[in-house]
Amino acid sequence: AQTVTQSQPEMSVQEAETVTLSCTYDTSENNYYLFWYKQPPSRQMILVIRQEAYKQQNATENRFSVNFQKAAKSFSLKISDSQLGDTAMYFCAFMDSNYQLIWGAGTKLIIKP
Amino acid sequence: DTEVTQTPKHLVMGMTNKKSLKCEQHMGHRAMYWYKQKAKKPPELMFVYSYEKLSINESVPSRFSPECPNSSLLNLHLHALQPEDSALYLCASSQVGGRPQHFGDGTRLSIL
């Protein structure tokens, strides 16, 4: 069975700093999708970034980028120039062959002014 | 603004009540999902509808009854719920296949 591990329950950084959230996963599949979602206190789950396993190039969305290491089964999220609005729970998720999401436990990220 | 609309945003009900949660999307997505989320935990999948047919039921108790009247609407009918059912209920939709799921704001449900 696939599993997703987020080893950092909580992180805190100063505004404008760069922060990296870690995520590792376990699967025997070769083709799959990986996602990062954020959930602010307002509670809506928002897609941050998506990575297709067959693409070697790391996905980027503005200040958000991933470091996808397929062999190591690692999918970390880097947030550059962090902003107060980035404060949220961040969930890493693996999409299995049935197109269902397997979620990590989440990392609570706090951006301090 | 969210593209998946859930109503109501908050619901308080007794254990003998019957209520329904509603979810609506107009993105042309043909897969719709119900999740249950406890505080500080990831979402737990409950049901999946694909092309208006129930494709996945993750062993959810029968006191939760999903319904998909058309491709834009998804309901979750609630009856005789237990206090442990208090949670945030999230609806999501996506294109069928490996496409991202888009979530609504959720319904915060409290069972007295």
Q: For residue B47, what are the β-bridge partners?
A: B34, B57
B103 with A46: Cβ contact below 8 A = yes
Sequential pLDDT tens for chain A (113 residues): 789 999 999 999 999 999 999 999 999 988 899 999 999 987 899 999 999 999 889 999 999 999 999 999 999 999 999 999 999 999 999 998 888 899 999 999 999 99
Compare all CA atoms of chain B with the CA of A103 and give the residue at the minimum distance. B42
Confidence of residue B18 (pLDDT cuts 50, 70, 90): very high
**Strands ordered across the beta sheet of B64-70:** B4-7, B18-25, B73-79, B64-70
Contact A99 B102 (CB under 8 A): no
A-B Cβ pairs (cutoff 8 Å, strict): 49
CA distance B55 to A42: 30
pLDDT on residue B2 = 62
The beta-carbon neighbor of B42 closest among A32, A106, A108 is A106
CA dist A43 → A89, A109, B22, B52 (Å): 9, 14, 17, 27
Interface of A with B (CB under 8 A): 32-33, 35, 37, 42-47, 50, 52, 89, 91, 93, 95, 98-101, 103-106, 108
Residues of B in contact with A99 (CB under 8 A): 31, 94, 96-98
